[in-house]
């Protein structure tokens, strides 16, 4: 994971996001004939032979629709995957089994199991189109959300035709700064979108790396001057209601540095023992355990990064591999999503530190717990005006309102500092 593994390791895999080798135009043409019964020219007025981006599973070409003239992005699967994926999965499974026999401490069979579960979904572009439209409809109901998901025109298992919406990577700081797009606002928007996916009533996008998110300026939005564009909807997961509630309580315990609560809900969320807890706390927060046990609401120092990287060379990597093999698969994907969004946030080099994003996280967590407590009162039966029910609701509402007040006051504080042209607040 980006926050725990050495930078040299994680940087090596960055080109897999959007700079992979491309499939030939001739191979793509034949795939169109095989899958649709028609050549490319029969479906599109124009079709660029060179892709604008190529990832490990697919590449994207620009085209114009024949009937409407609309500019579209055509995502096409690498044709050879149909033949090579079964072999790749079998070799991965075999390799990890041999690795386990030779080095029992490095059991990575859980990773091959997850690949066998996830890859067929990622390779079904018709399903990806359905995921995109479902998520688009959900976020269209959220007032002020800058999230923008391209419309889907049509899809097949290996071909997906979408509205073409271009943007810049979130780590293109020169573009953000030259267009007056506040990095801290982008960071807060990312936090709200993915916390809504984790704690709201919509599936979770489990692959939000830098190649799948883009920013473009949009002065027509009332609350932001940018669109947050989300691509690649192949890997989604539903999170159970109970998991959302336990995960919310875990994060509230982390934010409040509540050791007993952290240990309790780590067991509930992932079956973590007391011995495993320090490592799990670091994995879930991306922080050194000493920071977790005092106050996680601070910016990672260079020294802390060195401490974590050094610990990986001192045996923590083996413990991490074993730990990740034991946690439920949905927890693994939540951890992956958290790690990727933290990496996006760090690449933005925000000026105000992580305080605001932790308050946003606390907002979603406290809202989740508040809703659970309302449901508990309703399930008891009787009127909410009964003293015991009223007291329970009052306690729940007070906790929720306190977090809301903190977030609102902090955002107003940030706003007035900007108006007064004061320097940003790095930490509180």
Find, among 237, 230, 33, 69, the residue nearest to 151 by Cα. Answer: 230
For 288-415, strand residue ranges (E) read none
Quick one: CA torsion of 176, 180, 183, 185, rounded to 10 degrees? Answer: -130
CB 131 within 8 A of CB 150: no
**Going by C-beta distance under 8 Å and a sequence separation of 6 or more, which residues neighbour residue 266?**
250, 272, 277, 280, 281
Q: Active site includes 207?
A: yes
Q: In 200-314, where does DSSP find H-type helix? A: 241-255, 259-270, 277-285, 289-294, 302-311
Per DSSP, the residues of 96-153 read HHHHHHH-TT---HHHHHHHHHHHHHHT-HHHHHHHHHHHHHHHHTSTT--EE---EE
SS3 category, 171: coil
Residue 49 to residue 35: CA distance in whole angstroms: 19
DSSP-derived 3-state class of residue 62: strand
* Catalytic site residue from 18, 107, 207, 288: 207
Which contiguous run of DSSP H or E holds residue 185?
A: helix 183-199
Distance CA 4, CA 343 (A): 11
DSSP 348: T
From the number of C-beta atoms within 10 Å of its C-beta (0-12, 13-18, 19+), residue 270 rates as: buried
With the C-alpha atoms ordered 118, 120, 123, 126, is the resulting torsion angle positive or negative?
A: negative
Residue-wise over 206-226: b if at least 16 C-beta within 10 A, else e? bbbbbbbbbbbbeeeeeebbb
Q: What is the rounded distance in angstroms from the CA atom of residue 147 to the CA atom of residue 137?
A: 11
Tokens standing for 40? 């490319």
**Catalytic positions, please?**
207
């Amino acid at each position: 994971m980006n926050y725990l593994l050495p930078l040299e390791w994680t940087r090596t895999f960055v080109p897999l996001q959007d700079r992979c080798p491309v499939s030939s135009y001739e191979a793509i043409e034949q795939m169109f004939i095989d899958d649709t019964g028609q050549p490319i020219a029969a479906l599109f007025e124009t079709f660029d032979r060179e892709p604008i981006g190529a990832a490990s599973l697919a590449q994207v070409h620009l085209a114009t629709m024949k009937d409407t003239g609309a500019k579209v992005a055509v995502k096409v699967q690498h044709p050879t995957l149909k033949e090579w994926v079964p072999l790749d999965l079998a070799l991965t499974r075999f390799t990890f089994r041999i690795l386990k026999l030779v080095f029992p401490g490095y059991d990575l069979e859980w990773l091959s199991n997850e690949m066998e579960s996830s890859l067929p979904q990622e390779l079904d572009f018709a399903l990806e189109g359905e995921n995109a439209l479902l998520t688009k409809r959900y976020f269209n109901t959220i007032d002020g959300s800058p999230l923008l998901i391209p419309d889907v025109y049509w899809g097949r298992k290996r071909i997906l035709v979408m509205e073409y919406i271009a943007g810049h990577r979130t780590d293109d700081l020169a573009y953000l700064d030259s267009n007056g797009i506040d990095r801290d606002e982008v960071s807060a928007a990312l936090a709200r979108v993915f916390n809504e996916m984790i704690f709201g009533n919509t599936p979770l996008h489990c692959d939000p790396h830098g190649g799948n998110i883009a920013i473009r300026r949009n002065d027509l939005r009332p609350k932001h001057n940018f669109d947050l564009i989300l691509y690649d909807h192949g890997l989604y997961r539903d999170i159970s209601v109970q998991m959302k509630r336990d995960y919310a309580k875990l994060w509230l315990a982390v934010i409040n540095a509540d050791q007993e609560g952290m240990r309790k809900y780590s067991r509930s969320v992932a079956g973590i023992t007391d011995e495993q807890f320090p490592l799990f706390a670091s994995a879930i927060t991306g922080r050194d355990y000493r920071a977790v046990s005092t106050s996680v609401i601070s910016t990672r120092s260079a020294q802390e990064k060195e401490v974590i990287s050094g610990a990986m060379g001192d045996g923590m990597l083996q413990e991490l591999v074993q730990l990740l093999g034991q946690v439920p698969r949905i927890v693994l994907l939540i951890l992956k999503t958290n790690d990727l969004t933290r990496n996006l946030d760090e690449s933005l080099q925000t000026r105000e530190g992580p305080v605001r994003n932790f308050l946003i996280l606390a907002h979603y967590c406290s809202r989740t717990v508040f809703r659970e407590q309302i449901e508990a009162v309703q399930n008891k039966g009787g009127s909410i005006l009964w003293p015991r029910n009223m007291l329970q609701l009052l306690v729940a509402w007070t906790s929720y309102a306190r977090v809301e007040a903190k977030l609102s006051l902090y955002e107003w504080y940030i706003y007035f500092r900007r108006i007064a042209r004061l320097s940003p607040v790095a930490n509180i």
